[in-house]
Amino acid sequence: MAEGVRIRTKTPTPYFLSARRPETHDTATFRFALPADATLDMLPGDYVTVHATVNGKTVKRPYTPSSLVGTTGWFELTVKRYATGLVSTYVHDRRVGETVEISGPHTGGHWVDGMATRVGFIAGGSGITPMVSIIRWILAKRLPVEQWLVFANKTEADIILREEFERAAREHPTFHCYHVLGQPPAGWSMGVGRVTPDLLRAHLPPPGPGTVLFLCGPPPMVDALEGTLKALGYPEQAIILP
Ligand SMILES: Cc1cc2nc3c(=O)[nH]c(=O)nc-3n(C[C@H](O)[C@H](O)[C@H](O)COP(=O)(O)OP(=O)(O)OC[C@H]3O[C@@H](n4cnc5c(N)ncnc54)[C@H](O)[C@@H]3O)c2cc1C
C-alpha cells in the first residue's frame, strides 16, 4: 500500500477527468486526477458516489473504482452507458479536462486480506465492475488466493476487460475465467445461455471454510442465483453482494 494522503470526502468534490479510454461498444474507463501523493481511502470493492446535474436536478449513483487500490495520483471508474441512464450518460458525455463531482469512498461489499483462500466471482454484464478492483488487488499483491470468475454476457462484444481476464488466466495458474454468452458466436466453446447450477458447480470453488463468493449483475440474475448458490451449499455469509 502506498504511503501518503488518503482521500475520503463526505461532500461532493470536483475531480478532473484526465483521460478516458473505451473498453467495449458501451463501456469506457474514466481516469480522475488526484494529488501526486494521494490515493482513495478504500478497500477493494468499496465505492464512490458520482453526483451529476441533469436538467437542473442533482442525481447520484454509486460506482466502484476499478483501479488498483493504493494507486496514487489518479483513480479510475469503468462505466457502462445505458441509453436512458441519467448518470452513466452524464459521465460518458464528459470530456477530458472537465470535472465531475464525486464523494466517498464508502464502505461496500469489499475484500479484506485473509478473508478467504478461494474466491468465486459471478458477474453479469457491468456487474463485473465492483469485482475488478478485487481481482486486480489479489493478483497484484500475489495473495495466496485462488480465484474463479464466471462472467455472463449477451454477446462477445459485451465482455468488459476480456483480454485482461484471459491474459490473467494464462499467466496465473490461480486465476480461472469462464465466459457464458446468451448469444454465442459460431464455434464458441464456453458456456451458453443461462448460468445453471451445473455450470456453477463446475466453475466455482466448492463451498467450505475459506470460500467466499461475490455476486453482482442485473437484479433478476442476482435474485435467481442467490437461491441457486444457497441450494448448492454456500452459506449466506459466504455470498457477498457488492
Ligand atoms: C455498489 C455499486 C457499485 C456500482 N459500480 C458500478 C460501476 O463501477 N460501473 C457501472 O457502470 N455501474 C456501476 N453500478 C451501477 C450504477 O450505480 C448505476 O446504477 C448505473 O450506471 C445506471 O445508472 P443511470 O443513472 O445511468 O441509469 P438510471 O437512470 O438509473 O436507469 C436508466 C435505465 O437503465 C437501467 N439500469 C439502471 N441500472 C442498471 C443496472 N445496474 N443493470 C441493468 N440495467 C440498469 C434501468 O432499468 C433503466 O432502464 C454500481 C452499482 C452499485 C449498487
pLDDT-derived band at 2, boundaries 50, 70, 90 = very low
Q: Among 30, 47, 64, 82, which residue has the most ligand 1 atoms within 8 Å of its CB, making it the best to mutate?
A: 82
Look at residue 50 and tell me whether its pLDDT is greater than 80: yes
Mean of pLDDT over the chain: 95
User: Ligand 1 atom 4: the closest Cα is on which residue?
Assistant: 63
What is the model's pTM? 0.93
Amino acid at 187: G
All domains of the chain in start order, with CATH: 5-105 (2.40.30.10), 118-240 (3.40.50.80)
The Å distance, Cα 125 to ligand 1 centre, comes to 11
> What average pLDDT does this structure show over 60-76?
96
Ligand 1 pocket (Cβ < 6 Å) reads 47, 61-64, 77-80, 82, 84-89, 108, 126, 129-130, 218, 242
- Cα 226 to Cα 67: distance, rounded to the nearest angstrom: 27
Look at residue 183 and tell me whether its pLDDT is greater than 50: yes
> What average pLDDT does this structure show over 203-219?
96
Classified as helix, coil or strand, 175 is strand
> What average pLDDT does this structure show over 54-74?
95
Look at residue 80 and tell me whether its pLDDT is greater than 90: yes
Q: What is the pLDDT of residue 3?
A: 62
Q: Which atom of ligand 1 is nearest to the CA of 77?
A: 8
The Å distance, Cα 172 to ligand 1 centre, comes to 31
The Å distance, Cα 63 to ligand 1 centre, comes to 8
- Cis amide linkage into residue 105, ω under 30° from 0: yes
Percent of the chain with pLDDT over 70: 99
> What average pLDDT does this structure show over 191-218?
96
Task: Compute CA distances 180 → 121, 122, 176, whole Å.
Answer: 13, 10, 13
List Cβ neighbours of 156 (8 Å cut-off, separation of 6 or more). 162, 181, 184, 185, 188
Look at residue 1 and tell me whether its pLDDT is greater than 80: no
> What average pLDDT does this structure show over 52-57?
93
Q: What is the pLDDT of residue 4?
A: 80
Look at residue 133 and tell me whether its pLDDT is greater than 70: yes
The Å distance, Cα 241 to ligand 1 centre, comes to 15
DSSP per residue, 12-79 = EEEEEEEEEEE-SSSEEEEEEE--TTEEE---TT-EEEEEEEETTEEEEEEE---SPTT--SEEEEEE
pLDDT-derived band at 242, boundaries 50, 70, 90 = confident
Instruction: Report yes or no: 205 and 120 within 8 Å, Cβ to Cβ.
Output: yes
Condensed to tens digits (0 to 9), the pLDDT of residues 157-177 reads 999 999 999 999 999 999 999
Instruction: Report yes or no: 131 and 216 within 8 Å, Cβ to Cβ.
Output: yes
Look at residue 149 and tell me whether its pLDDT is greater than 80: yes
Residue of higher predicted confidence among 14 and 55: 14
For 41, the grid coordinates are 481511502
Residue of higher predicted confidence among 1 and 202: 202
Condensed to tens digits (0 to 9), the pLDDT of residues 94-108 reads 999 999 999 999 999
